[in-house]
With several copies, the nearest count.
Chain A
Amino acid sequence: MGKVSQHAALYRMVATIRQVEEALAALLAEGLIPGFIHLSIGQEAVAAGVMSVLTQADTITSTHRGHGHAIAKGMKLEAFFAELLARDSGACRGRGGSMHVADVANGMLGANGIVAAGIPIALGSAFAHKTLKRDAVAVAFFGDGAMAEGLLHECLNLAKLWDLPVLFVCENNGWGEFLPTEHQIVFTLDKLAAAFGVPHRTVDGNDVGAVAKVAGEVVAKVRKSGPMILECLTSRVGGHYEGDPQRGRDPAEQVAAKARDPLEIARARLAEGEADKIDRDVTGAIAAAIAFARVAPEPDWDVAAASVYTSAA
């Protein structure tokens, strides 16, 4: 598609994720969302940009901060909001919620409540793509805090050893829960990548155009020649979870995190008035989806209880 429409499409996705996250904060405050939720405000460009270069056959695994990944990979807003509100019409019939949104038909193999646990699942999906000769790649999203999990390191070795079509996407927002990752991790991902001989690229994760461009190049390489790492430098504008008091977070750092807003950066690429129109569309679509979710039925106990095994389902 042409430049303009591509910028518009990317902006639309960034705006959608932003408005979705903001709507979720309100719904949580309203008491409609069970559990805790992790918003990706400030990081929307990563999901929007990477997903813009994937096909439906490509698969991804996500993290606890996975709303944007799910939506960018194609999950319908109705199914998404109904899931977050734990309703039967949700993508997971209201049994996954924020940390487990999945849309397998669209290749979204699940958010994950366990740090780094999605990474080997992406490897396995890539292994299946390869073994079954599918022209598809798998993408493992993870945060910079997950770099401390040995599982990531095991997966880098295995992906390279088996030459799997898997892309490791690090959303480096500088935080791991309540502690800056500089106090958790002594290495940088580029150096680690070099040790494993896995090609590594860094991109401005707040610039959706840049993410889309670099991701496009990287994913093309992965399809042909095996594993790569894409490190997206981005910023967690809010707390670790919605409602996080963020005790002891340096105000200056928080201001800095807000400084390069992915939404503004994407917006600047559009023609006068175009963004406003998209914003209105998005607002409307989200309002409709939320309206749908609000009245969606609760999950049924017996159906849930019968769903534990396939045979019984």
Chain B
Amino acid sequence: MMAELRYNHAVNRAMADAMAADPTVVLFGEDVAGAGGVYGATRGLRDRFGAERVRDTPISEAAFVGLAVGAALSGLKPIVEISFIDFMTFAMDAMVNQAAKMRTMFGGQVSVPMVLRTQNGGGAGSGPQHSQCLEAWFAHVPGLKVVCPGDPASAYGLLRAAIADPDPVIVIEHKALYAMRVPEPEALPILPIGKAVIVRPGRDLTIVSYGGALRAVAETAATLSAEGIEAEIVDLRSIQPWDEAAVLNSLSHTHRLLIVHEAVEAFGVGAEIAARMADIGFDELDAPILRVGAPFMPSPIAKALERRYMPNTNSILAAVRRLLA
């Protein structure tokens, strides 16, 4: 059986490699040390790097994320985990009013080299308080960087980049991707924050997506291809900053743009991409810019409703048909 790389193992390996390379990298969060995290992404790290560097925290999100900010100001490179992005409601201040603003506010005296790892998304019937995709909140905050890895290699490469980055980076993994496996890649490079990748070339339309929605997008593209419609898929990878040039470039040869993400469509990440392209990409557009995102309601728990709530081949296909009509 050929070697495979699992998403949660890629996350784990990124932290292990970074901690092995740099003794100032530390990790803490709820149940990351003893239990190895809800999704096993931190398993084995305390045994390997010791109880000083890998710590379980009490259920005090505001305090331990704030602690990470102070640690980053004083010589450490903390990785702090919030087990569901939904719980960021308790830890907004440290990221938004402190970490994000310190470099500017203190006149460049400091950098805040911290990483906040969390996960978003649905598909597990986890319900309205455990399935949200709140990346747009953080992308709106100057001083923060936000990445959303959509496959194991990105999970490794973006997390390594985030840990190496001198500024605060929020790494948003996806709960439904932790079990995703790919053949072990030849190499696992550190990936540049802010760079998108064309995961599928195509001439007929551009589909911009990221994170958990990429799989449904890829399936849809395969279906379309059978009909002779070639969709170009751009995986943003980074949400803040995002790769405007890559999207514009793709649009400039397909002239049609669809944005797909799992987050609520209204005021979501796709809105910014559409808005920018309706400005700098206006002359390239042969059709309206369309978006597929969650409808304006909290996540349902019933499987059938949740499937319909999340972007799926039906909803994406329908949008593509409209776009090409």
Direct contact of A and B (CB under 8 A): yes
Query: Contact between A177 and B35 (Cβ–Cβ < 8 Å)?
Result: yes
Q: Is A94 in contact with B301, judged by CB distance below 8 angstroms? A: yes
Bitwise interface map of A from 69 to 98 toward B, beta carbon under 8 Å scored 1, else 0: 000000000000000001100111111110
Interface size for chain B: under 10, 10 to 19, 20 to 34, or 35 or more residues? Answer: 35 or more
Q: Does B271 contact A (CB under 8 A)?
A: no
Proximity string of chain A (90-109) to chain B, C-beta cutoff 8 Å, 1 when within and 0 when not: 11111111011011110001
* Complex CA–CA separation, A290 to B93 (angstroms): 34
Given the interface pairs A157-B60, A179-B34, the reply to whether A307 lies near B108 with Cβ below 8 Å is yes
Among B62-70, B250-258, B312-320, the stretch in contact with A: B62-70
- Contact bitstring B104-123, A, C-beta under 8 A = 1, else 0: 11111111000000000000
Among A243-276, those with CB < 8 Å from B are: 247-248
Segment at the interface with A among B5-13, B126-134, B219-227, B275-283: B126-134
B71-79, B182-190, B199-207, B231-239: which one contacts chain A?
B71-79
Residues in chain A near residue B76, CB distance under 8 A = 124, 127-128, 131-132
Residues on the B chain within 8 Å of A305, using CB: 295, 297
Do residues A99 and B127 form an inter-chain contact, with CB atoms below 8 A? yes
Q: Is B288 an interface residue (CB 8 A)?
A: no
Do B106 and A34 touch (CB < 8 A)? no
Residues A162 and B55 in contact, CB atoms below 8 Å apart: yes
Given A99-B129, A129-B74, A154-B107 contact (CB < 8 Å): no
C-alpha gap A18/B226 in the complex (Å): 54
Picked from A35, A121, A151, A176, the residue with its CB within 8 Å of the CB of B301 is: A35
- Indicate if A311 sits at the interface (CB-CB under 8 A): yes
A158 in contact with B60 given A34-B306, A99-B129 (CB within 8 Å): yes
| Chain A hits for B67, CB < 8 A | 120-121, 123-124, 127, 158
Residue B58 contacts which of A86, A102, A161, A298 (CB distance < 8 angstroms)? A161
A91 contacts B107, CB within 8 Å? yes
A305 CB, nearest partner CB in chain B, Å: 6
Partner of B108, one of A112, A125, A301, A313: A313
Q: Which residues on the B side are within 8 Å of A123 (C-beta)?
A: 63, 66-67, 70
Q: Tell me whether A179 and B56 are in contact (CB under 8 A).
A: yes
Let me know if A86 and B60 touch, CB within 8 A: no
Q: Which residue of B lies closest to A176 (CB)?
A: B59
Within 8 A of A (CB), among B69-104: 69-76, 78, 86-87, 89-90, 93-94, 97-98, 102-104
Do A102 and B70 have beta carbons less than 8 Å apart?
Answer: no
CB distance from B299 to the nearest CB of A (A): 10
User: How far is B86's CA from A23's CA once the two chains are assembled, in angstroms?
Assistant: 29
Query: Which listed residue, B63, B71, B105, B143, touches A125 by the CB 8 Å rule?
Result: B71
Give the size range of A's interface with the partner: 35 or more
Contact of B107 among A90, A112, A146, A161 (CB under 8 A): A90
B181 sits at the interface (CB 8 A) = no
- A221 vs B211: C-alpha distance when bound (angstroms): 49
C-alpha spacing A313/B112, complex, angstroms: 13
Expressed in whole angstroms, the Cα–Cα distance for A150 and B64 within the complex equals: 12
Chain B neighbourhood of A100, CB < 8 A: 105-106, 127-129
Given A97-B125, A154-B63, A158-B60, is A104 in contact with B69 using a C-beta cutoff of 8 Å? no
Cβ of A210 under 8 Å from chain B: no
Nearest chain A CB to B70 CB, angstrom units: 2
B contact set with A: CB distance below 8 Å? 24, 26, 30-31, 34-36, 52-53, 55-60, 62-76, 78, 86-87, 89-90, 93-94, 97-98, 102-111, 124-130, 142-143, 145, 165-167, 295-298, 300-306, 308
8 A-B pairs whose Cβ atoms sit less than 8 Å apart in the complex: A34-B301, A34-B302, A109-B70, A129-B74, A132-B74, A179-B31, A301-B308, A308-B296
Could you list 20 further interchain pairs (A-B, Cβ under 8 angstroms) beyond the known A35-B127, A145-B59? A34-B127, A34-B301, A61-B70, A87-B302, A110-B106, A113-B86, A120-B64, A123-B67, A125-B74, A127-B76, A131-B71, A132-B75, A148-B58, A148-B59, A155-B63, A155-B66, A157-B63, A177-B30, A184-B58, A311-B166
